[in-house]
Structure 1
Amino acid sequence: MIVVTGATGALNGATVDHLLERLPASEIAVAVRDTSKAARFARRGVEVRRGDYAHPDSLPAAFAGADQLLLVSSNDPTADAIGLHRAAVDAAVTADVKRILYTSHQAAAPDNPFAPGRDHFATEQLLAASGIPWTSLRNGFYAHSLKWLAGPWRETGVIAVPSDGPVSWTAREDAAEAAAIILAARGPYDGPITITAPAAPTFTELAEIASELSGRTVRFQRIDAEEWAAAQSAAGQPEHMTRFLLGFYQAAQGGFFAGTDPLLGELLDRQPRNARDALQATSE
């Protein structure tokens, strides 16, 4: 039995869809906070269970019988992500789960300026200490985020951000499919594995790509971090979100998102989507 958490979200929901192309529905269960939102899976014969990291008592039953458990990471920047993940790992131990797969990030590191990278690293330490075999899916930074992180270049003709660091922009859809392939294969992946697009363009290179796609000159402008933060605040962005996003740009400048790996293409047996594809999608 494969149990997938967070299946009402975009990432793990797509993973379940890909699993259903490879395995009988009777071999899959989803653990979700709101079971009514998982009706589409129930209609296809997938067992729907209630499980909420914030309510640890709900988790052991939700994870029961799992040969493999796919834990989605918390994506709420205001939540105690490590505490939520600890509850999930503890429940997996209680439920005698045979293997945990966790949606981590390629930038999992204790010194990452981007807070989720630190949370992912801490969660991997929890997994390592659990005694359960585990796989950490260190996905590249999701490419659909370019819609926000590259700024309103379609209107201004300028990518004006506080970094020119490289980022291996990776399609969330590809990462979801890769997770399904690994789960269905019950392969020998242990510990962290890196799942990224094949290239990590800088923002200067993104401006060049945007120019080609739009047929007009799009230039890159690196702006002072505090000036950028002040502009975000002036535009109504909450302070905690401004600092959260600034951590991303600082991490990019520090090279935390620069690594690439051929594994994603090998798993998919095709060329993964890349930053050009993402910019094309946000241009349409």
Structure 2
Amino acid sequence: MIIVTGATGRLGSQVVARLLDLVPAHTVGVSVRDESKAAGLAARGVRVRTGDFTDPASLDKAFEDADQVLVVSAAIRGPQASGANRAAIDAAVRAGATRVLYTSHQCASPGSLFSPGREHAATEAHLREQGVDYTALRHGFYTSTFEHYVPAALRTGELRLPEDGPVSWTAHADLVEADVVALTEPDLLNGVTPPLTAPGLLDFADVARVVTVLTGRSVKRVVVDDEEWKESAVAAGMPAAFADFTLGMFRAARAGEFAVTDPALETLLGRPATPAHTVLERLVQAG
């Protein structure tokens, strides 16, 4: 049985939907925090069980009979994130899974300026020590990040953000497909993958230019001092801890941590990856 965690989240739900196009529903199980949100999956014959990374006992039940477990990294920020992910990996091993897959990040490194990069590195190290087959899927930086900034820029005409750097923005849908290939063709990806990224690099100045062309409305990229940006973000209601988290992303970007591309994703998909320009176009049209 293939178990997918976080199956009602943005990534996990798409993974399960695609997986059900390829394998029988009774061979798929999901671990979710709220079973009521997965009622549609249960109706299709998917095994739905409650599992919470902060409650290891619940994972033992959720992962029963697992052959493979896809641990979708916890939506928790801070040092506790790697602990939660390690707990899920441990539960998968206890359940007898012969292969554990984990959604990591292209910047996974103990020295990353972006805190998730450090947390993913710690989780990958733990995964390597478990004595089972494993795959750490190093996802590119999600294009969904644009959703946090572009709508406001369209309203104000300014993309006011800290200094950044080029990023190999990668679409969720492409990474979903890669994750499903990894689950259904286990010999293709073993160990830590290369960065699974789209081939293009854009910084937020590029994003502003693309949005300007797409809309015919001027969007100006304005670089804001880190602390000035944090003060304004907190004043607007952003928790200080999340502001610091976000600043880590910008600091890592300008240090070049996300300016990495690799052909591995397109090779795996057998087609070109979705350009960031296409994602921006869809976002603008939806808005």
TM-score range, shorter chain: over 0.9
Number of the residue aligned with 1:50: 50
Q: Distance in 2 between matches of 1:52 and 1:45?
A: 22
Which deviates the most, 156-165 or 138-147?
A: 156-165
| Structure 1: distance between partners of 2:56 and 2:118 | 23
Task: Give the partner amino acid of 1:265.
Answer: E
Check conservation: 2:78, 2:115, Cα contact below 8 A: no
1:87 corresponds to: 87
SS of residue in 2 equivalent to 1:102: strand
Deviation, structure 1 residue 128: 0.7
- Report whether the alignment pairs 1:36 with 2:62: no
TM-score, with structure 1 as normaliser: 0.94
Bigger drift between 249-258 and 74-83 goes to 74-83
Distance between the aligned counterparts of 1:69 and 1:261, measured in 2? 26
| CA 79–110 in structure 1, closer or farther in 2 if over 3 Å, else same | closer
Q: In the TM superposition, what is the alpha-carbon distance from 1:271 to its structure 2 partner? A: 2.1
Which consecutive segments of 4 or more residues in structure 1 shift more than 3 A? none
Which residue in 1 is equivalent to 2:63? 63
Q: What is the percentage of aligned positions where both structures have the same residue?
A: 44
1:210 corresponds in structure 2 to 211
* 8 Å contact from structure 2 (residues 15, 179) kept in 1: yes
AA of the residue aligned to 1:199: G
C-alpha contact (below 8 Å) 2:144/2:171 kept by paired residues: yes
Any stretches of 5+ residues in structure 2 without a counterpart? none
CA distance in 2, matches of 1:183, 1:85: 19
Give the drift of 1:149: 4.0
1:22 is matched with 22
Q: What is the match of residue 147 of structure 1? A: 147
Given the alignment of the two structures, is residue 236 of structure 1 paired with residue 237 of structure 2, yes or no? yes
Count of residues in correspondence between the two structures? 284
Question: Aligned partners of 2:32 and 2:217: how far apart in 1?
Answer: 45
Matched with 2:221 is: 220
User: How far is the alpha carbon of 1:238 from its aligned partner?
Assistant: 1.3
The answer to which of 10-19 and 76-85 deviates more is: 76-85
Distance 1:83 1:185 in 2: 29
The DSSP-based 3-state class of the residue aligned with 1:136 is strand
CA distance in 1, matches of 2:149, 2:252: 13
Secondary structure of 1:69's aligned partner: strand
Partners of 2:271 and 2:40 lie apart in 1 by 29
